[in-house]
Amino acid sequence: MNRQIIFITETIQNQMTQPVKELIGFGASLIPDHEYQSLLIVPGQDVAELAKQISSETGIHTLAIEHEDFKFPNPHLLGKILPTVIQKSMPSYICMNHNVRNCHLAATLAIRINAACITGVESFEIQNGYPVFTRMMFNGKLAAKTACKTEPIILTVIPGALSDSLIPNRKNGKGTIHVMKTDDLRSGYHPQKVYETIAKDNRLEEADVIVSAGMGIEKEENMELIRKTASIFTNAAIAGSRIVCDHGWLPYGCQVGETGKQVTPKLYVACGISGTIQHTAGMKKSNCIVAINKDPNAPIFSIADYGVVEDLKTFLPILIAKHDEQKN
Amino acid sequence: MKILVCIKQVFCSENELKIRPDGKWIQETDSTDFRMNRFDEYALEEALLIKETHTDATVDVISVGPERVKEVIKRGLSKGADNGIHICYHQSGYCPPQAVSRMIADYAESQSYNLILTGVMAEDDMQCLVGPMTAGLLSIPCAVSVIKEKIDIKNKIITVHCEMENGKVEEVLISMPAVLTIQTGINRPRYPSLSNILRANSKELTVVDGFFPEEPPDHHELLSIGYPVTSSRISMLEGSAEEKALQLLSIFHKKSLLK
Ligand SMILES: Cc1cc2nc3c(=O)[nH]c(=O)nc-3n(C[C@H](O)[C@H](O)[C@H](O)COP(=O)(O)OP(=O)(O)OC[C@H]3O[C@@H](n4cnc5c(N)ncnc54)[C@H](O)[C@@H]3O)c2cc1C
Ligand SMILES: Nc1ncnc2c1ncn2[C@@H]1O[C@H](COP(=O)(O)O)[C@@H](O)[C@H]1O
């Protein structure tokens, strides 16, 4: 019998929040012989057209689930509706892009349908016929390998886990489209609106160099070291990790990462930043990354071009002094 | 109003983490440092702030884990929580989220809490699951990554603001009782006061035996943990601090980025 994979996408006001092509490619590679059927679930307020469009682009069967409370992401309500849909097709995998709301949905489904659930999947390998998933732990410092003993397996997959090129060319042509209206269902979760919080400020976008501070700076006074380091460059801005902004040492407009800004400067100097995926999601596409961290095992070194294992409190003053010496 | 805050004790991951010989978890020694999960500090603070405006509220803190987790429970009490609950789960190592949330939900059910707060994520296993799984087990709504909330006790409705990616926020109305997973930055966690530290030390904790299911409800197994492969492109600069500084300056100079 053909195996089943269910993909779930997220929409805001009938627009997808993340691309699904890569996710579909990831799912396909989970079943090496590609003998599987797939279904893409698209929740939204009015998403029949969107479902049709994805279906014709990817050849995948789609199910649009419509409800007025799906105008904005609603993992609670979706978690109520999906078990009956899922139990009908008994899938091997249920895949979604990784974000906190999808973790919420994954958790709800795992409880409702009593299934395995692994969030933040970065890669996988097949061992003895079974998939083994790799994900990060301990603030990104260690990678864990997890095996599942039962199906279905619910996964949230980190974008970038697989490249588009791995998407198989599916020949099954046009997928079917179904629309399910669920307006009569009530839940205790009613999204009102989505709004933006980051002020328009292009300093980070326009800078050639970003000198960024993490909790390794230890106290607010040491922000001065970051500012001084930035001043050795012709066109630099300063930024920070979320925790530095949470402490009020920098305004939130300077926060880089998943929930902050995405930046791509010519040079990103990460000072005392551990390098969890939530931070690196916002800066890993920088042209050149220099990491200064006193811990040789800090995860930031796994994405940096140049690594310096030093205490930034002693190292940055030396860097600044050497620069001043050379200039004079 | 009864509030329960879930707090986890985690390894200080800035320090060196030694992997156990069986490769399945961190090796614990007498000198291993632990702390309260950073996200839970904010969850606890939020509960204490709610208690300041809703004076009839009580705040309980709960932690699942071995004997040593009593330390974070005491820390919770010393910040101002009213009661501490320790769910004793002796098995050291990874405890899957289904098992943790089952233990928390079982206790919570017996106490009819109006509000359960957790952190968004535990810094050690980074799963973002225990909060919403607990809500699932109790069949109550959950909101994740909360950065602001307003409680309407009379109508049993909470207005929550949930952080999304790239600076977007979703505003949601959810009914009580509910689980909220709290994001950092929502408040500034307080330090314990001396009088509360003394009080916490003399306070009895409620101790509940964690269960050890024959067939764990988890469906998955942590095979091993290890250092991730580093990128092949990295070059680690060698030499004294001065030499490294000079190397960096020459790299910056070649890219014409310096003043
Ligand atoms: C849903 C969600 C969204 C998130 N979004 C973001 C986001 O957008 N951006 C973001 O940044 N984070 C985000 N986070 C938080 C993220 O998970 C990390 O907690 C955070 O990035 C850690 O910040 P940090 O590296 O500054 O601090 P830490 O993790 O505390 O790391 C400090 C680092 O400094 C090093 N260090 C300490 N002292 C020194 C010294 N003297 N010299 C040199 N090095 C030193 C340490 O070795 C360590 O590596 C998010 C989390 C969640 C759950
Ligand atoms: N062992 C535990 N004891 C108490 N609370 C926990 C425990 N594990 C997880 N939590 C709570 O669940 C949140 C999310 O954890 P996780 O799902 O492991 O990322 C944490 O921030 C805690 O509030």
In chain A, what are the domain boundaries?
A: 4-181, 200-327
What mean pLDDT, rounded, does chain B reach?
93
Q: What is the per-residue pLDDT for A238?
A: 97
pLDDT at A128: 83
Q: Which domain holds residue B127?
A: 2-209
Q: Is B242 within a domain?
A: no
Binding pocket residue ranges, ligand 1, CB within 6 Å: A 100, 139, 214-216, 218, 241-244, 255-260, 272-274, 276, 278-279, 282, 293-295, 298, 311-313; B 14, 120-121, 145
**Tens of pLDDT, residues B90-128:** 877 898 999 999 999 999 999 999 999 999 999 999 999
User: B111, B155 in Cβ contact below 8 A?
Assistant: no
Write a three-state SS string for B91-124.
CCCCCCHHHHHHHHHHHHHHHCCCEEEEECCCCC
| Cross-chain CB nearest to B172 (options A138, A192, A242) | A192
Question: How many CB atoms sit inside 10 A of residue A257's CB?
Answer: 25
Binning pLDDT at 50, 70 and 90, where does residue A170 land?
low
In angstroms, what separates the C-alpha of B159 from chain A's closest C-alpha? 9
pLDDT per position as a tens digit, A203-223? 899 999 999 999 999 999 999
Phi, psi of A50 (to 5 degrees): -60, -45
CATH number of the structural domain spanning residue B46: 3.40.50.620
β B157-163/B168-175 pair status:
antiparallel
pLDDT at residue A327, rounded to an integer: 83
Total-model pTM: 0.95
- Whose tokens are 């016929």? That residue is A129
For residue range A71-127, list pLDDT tens digits in order.
999 999 999 999 999 988 889 999 999 999 999 999 999 999 999 999 999 999 988
Q: Higher model confidence: residue B15 or residue B112?
A: B112
Instruction: Taking residues A155-175, report their average pLDDT.
Output: 66
Specify if B235 maps to a domain: no
Confidence of residue B132 (pLDDT cuts 50, 70, 90): very high
- What number is the ipTM of this complex? 0.96
Question: CATH fold of A4-181, please?
Answer: Rossmann fold (3.40.50)
pLDDT of residue B90: 81
Position A126 scores a pLDDT of: 86
**Ligand 1 pocket, mutate which of B12, B14, B33, B38 (most atoms under 8 A from CB):** B14
pLDDT of residue A92: 94
Q: Do the domain assignments include residue B43?
A: yes
User: Would you state the pLDDT for residue B213?
Assistant: 60
- Farthest-apart Cα atoms in chain A, separation: 76
Among the partner-chain residues A189, A194, A307, the one whose CB lies closest to the CB of B169 is A194
Question: What is the token pair recorded at A234?
Answer: 């012709």
For B37, the 3-state DSSP assignment is coil
Q: What is the 3-state secondary structure (H, E, C) of B118-169?
A: EECCCCCCCCCCHHHHHHHHHCCCEEEEEEEEEEECCCCEEEEEEECCCCEE
Judge whether B247 lies within some domain. no
Domain-located, residue B259: no
Q: What is the pLDDT of residue B60?
A: 98
At B26 the three-state DSSP class reads strand
| pLDDT over threshold 80, residue B62 | yes
| pLDDT value at residue A181 | 87
DSSP secondary-structure letter at A301? G
Report how many domains make up chain B.
1
**B115 Cβ inside 6 Å of ligand 2:** no
* B163 is a domain residue: yes
Neighbour-count burial of B131, counting CB atoms closer than 10 A to its CB (0-12 exposed, 13-18 middle, 19+ buried): buried
Residue type, B244: K
Query: Is residue B134 assigned to a domain?
Result: yes
Q: Testing the interface with A: which of B244, B246, B254 to mutate, by most A Cβ within 10 A?
A: B244
Q: What is the pLDDT of residues A221-270, one digit of tens each?
A: 999 999 999 999 999 999 999 999 999 999 999 999 999 999 999 999 99
The CATH class that applies to domain A200-327 reads: alpha beta
pLDDT interval class at A162 (50, 70, 90): low
Q: How confident is the model at residue B228 (pLDDT cuts 50, 70, 90)?
A: confident
Give the pLDDT confidence score for residue B218 in this predicted structure. Answer: 63
Whether B193 is in a domain gets the answer yes
Question: How do residues B141-162 score in pLDDT, each as one tens digit?
Answer: 999 999 999 999 999 999 999 9
